[in-house]
């Protein structure tokens, strides 16, 4: 991976996600408190019927919007007929390990994985997660493929999950680590929510790590939010895997 000789600080426009979300919720509450509920329900029902009959959906969606139906309600009216798309994340195997060839870091990593297996009775398990509206999944696929080739038991989470959904998935698969892939600036909101969701499920023992496009000036906040490791662009994957194994062995 290319690494610049000197660190370059990039000015980043900070958006307070919590404030934006609170403001939007307030607007939605005002809207729902002042609109004609009967007109909204009638327009949404007409939209669902149009979806069933094959009529012009744009026309009926505009009518619903004019009746002050929200985008979410319009989407739900269509989902009742068409269902919801679930993105399928596919990975490959064998390619990454073969490309590495002889590598001292990988050799050390394999020894540590063997030591962990002897100690815990199984492979180190990691869930590679995408949360929020971050649809950039290439990094997730690369990490999942590489870690599986390096000896981890990898679960690849579905796209567009809430922190609560990812926490439940991590508990279901009894993973040791949840890796949050962040490429759309949601880390300051989503990682704290993931930590809280795990705590509610009684599994705050799971390690949370963050990777992706995370500005250096956010590192401390992300660590305070619960991430034990941060892997920015330029991270060497075998070195990242070794750092995680060191943490698992120390925790065990």
Whole-angstrom distance, CA of residue 162 vs CA of residue 12: 25
Residue 178's closest CA among 188, 187, 189, 191?
191
Q: Do 196 and 157 sit in the same domain of this protein?
A: yes
Q: Do 126 and 204 sit in the same domain of this protein?
A: yes
Q: What is the DSSP string of 49-88?
A: HHHHHT--HHHHHHHHHHTT--HHHHHHHHHHHH----PP
CATH number at residue 200: 3.40.50.280
pTM for this entry: 0.84
Q: Do 109 and 183 sit in the same domain of this protein?
A: yes
Q: Do 73 and 137 sit in the same domain of this protein?
A: no
> Within a 10 A sphere around the Cβ of 123, how many other Cβ atoms?
15
Identify the helix (H) or strand (E) that includes residue 117.
Answer: helix 104-120
Start-to-end Cα distance in the chain? 31
State the sign of the Cα–Cα–Cα–Cα dihedral 208, 143, 131, 235.
positive
Identify the helix (H) or strand (E) that includes residue 251.
Answer: helix 237-251
Q: Do 116 and 172 sit in the same domain of this protein?
A: yes
Taking only the tens of pLDDT, the chain with its 252 residues reads 567 777 777 788 888 888 998 999 999 999 999 999 999 999 999 999 999 999 999 999 999 999 999 999 999 999 999 998 877 778 888 888 888 888 899 999 999 999 999 999 999 999 999 999 888 888 999 999 999 999 999 999 999 999 999 999 999 999 999 999 998 888 999 999 999 999 999 999 999 999 999 999 999 999 999 999 999 988 999 999 999 999 999 986
**Total domains present in the chain:** 2
- 236 Cβ neighbours under 8 A, 6+ residues apart: 1, 105
């Amino acid at each position: 991976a290319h690494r610049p000789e000197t660190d370059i600080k990039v000015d980043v426009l900070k958006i307070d996600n919590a404030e934006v979300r609170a403001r939007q919720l307030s607007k939605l509450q005002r809207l729902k408190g002042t609109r004609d509920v009967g007109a909204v329900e009638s327009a949404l029902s007409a939209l669902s019927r149009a979806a069933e009959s094959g009529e012009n959906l744009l026309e009926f969606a505009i009518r619903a919007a004019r009746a002050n139906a929200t985008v979410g309600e319009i989407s739900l009216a269509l989902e009742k007929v068409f269902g919801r798309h679930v993105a399928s994340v596919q990975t490959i195997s064998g390619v990454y390990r073969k490309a590495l060839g002889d590598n001292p870091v990988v050799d050390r990593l394999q020894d540590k994985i063997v030591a962990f297996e002897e100690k815990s009775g199984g492979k180190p398990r990691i869930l590679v997660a995408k949360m929020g509206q971050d649809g950039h999944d290439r990094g997730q696929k690369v990490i999942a493929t590489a870690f599986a080739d390096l000896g981890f038991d990898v679960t690849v989470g579905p796209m567009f999950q809430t922190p609560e959904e990812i926490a439940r998935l991590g508990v279901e698969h009894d993973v040791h680590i949840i890796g949050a892939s962040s490429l759309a600036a949601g880390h300051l909101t989503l990682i704290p929510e993931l930590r809280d969701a795990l705590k509610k499920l009684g599994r705050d023992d799971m390690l949370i790590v963050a990777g992706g496009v995370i500005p250096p000036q956010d590192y401390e906040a992300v660590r305070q939010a619960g991430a034990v490791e941060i892997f920015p662009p330029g991270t060497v994957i075998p070195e990242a895997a070794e750092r995680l194994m060191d943490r698992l062995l120390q925790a065990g």
